[in-house]
């Protein structure tokens, strides 16, 4: 994974300034055009990659972090094509709802009866679980991490989707 990340970031003009090997975590300090970001990914005891995230900081660039994480997400296979038309149509509705706003979808992951979608607006980052039933009917949306975890991003997306539907 490490070499693949370096190649993907290099193609985007992102340079790895340093790498910290932590317990079940790799933390990268990245630079491009004088901007800096810190991102990390976690893995389990079987070296299966789990979550990735950016480290907040006053002198860190959120845009650079989001771009680096998008490359990671693609390599980790978390943006594999939707398995069915039902999921694909929902992702298209989400994309249509957030178009014209600073919010963008940067990844998704399918789980049993749930679609977890990751969003950012360049400052905030959050995940929403969209759940559905066996009849392929969307039943609810839930902010991952509990209410307020996305610093209002969940509510903004909910409002955009409601205005698009209504």
Enumerate domains of the chain plus CATH numbers: 1-78 (no CATH), 85-163 (3.30.310.240)
**Which residues, other chains included, contact 43 with Cβ-Cβ below 8 Å and sequence gap of 6+?**
24, 25, 26, 49, 50
Mean pLDDT for the stretch of residues 64-93: 75
Confirm if 135 and 71 have CB atoms less than 8 A apart.
no
Residue range 117-141, pLDDT digits in tens: 999 998 999 999 999 998 899 999 9
* pLDDT score, position 124: 92
Confidence of residue 154 (pLDDT cuts 50, 70, 90): very high
Exposed / middle / buried, residue 85 (Cβ in 10 Å: 0-12, 13-18, 19+) = exposed
Residue range 31-46, pLDDT digits in tens: 999 999 998 888 777 7
The answer on pLDDT for 20 being more than 80 is: yes
Mean pLDDT for the stretch of residues 136-154: 94
Mean pLDDT taken over the chain: 85
pTM, to two decimals: 0.53
Backbone angles phi, psi at 156, to 5 degrees: -60, -45
* Other C-beta atoms lying within 10 Å of the C-beta of residue 5: 22
* pLDDT score, position 166: 62
> Maximum CA pair distance of the chain?
51
């Amino acid at each position: 994974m490490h070499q693949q990340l370096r190649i993907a970031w290099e193609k985007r003009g992102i340079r790895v300034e340093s790498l910290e090997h932590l317990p079940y975590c790799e933390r990268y300090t990245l630079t491009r055009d004088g901007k800096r970001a810190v991102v990390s990914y976690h893995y389990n005891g079987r070296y299966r990659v789990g979550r990735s995230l950016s480290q907040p900081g006053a002198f860190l660039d959120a845009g650079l972090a989001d771009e680096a994480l998008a490359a990671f997400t693609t390599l980790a296979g978390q943006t594999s094509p939707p398995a069915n038309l039902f999921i694909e149509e929902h992702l298209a509705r989400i994309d249509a709802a957030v178009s014209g706003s600073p919010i963008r979808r940067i990844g998704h992951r399918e789980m049993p009866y749930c679609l977890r979608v990751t969003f950012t607006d360049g400052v905030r980052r959050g995940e929403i679980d969209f759940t559905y039933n066996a009849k392929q009917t969307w039943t609810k949306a839930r902010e991952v991490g509990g209410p307020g975890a996305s610093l209002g991003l969940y509510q903004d997306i909910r409002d955009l989707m409601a205005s698009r539907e209504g």
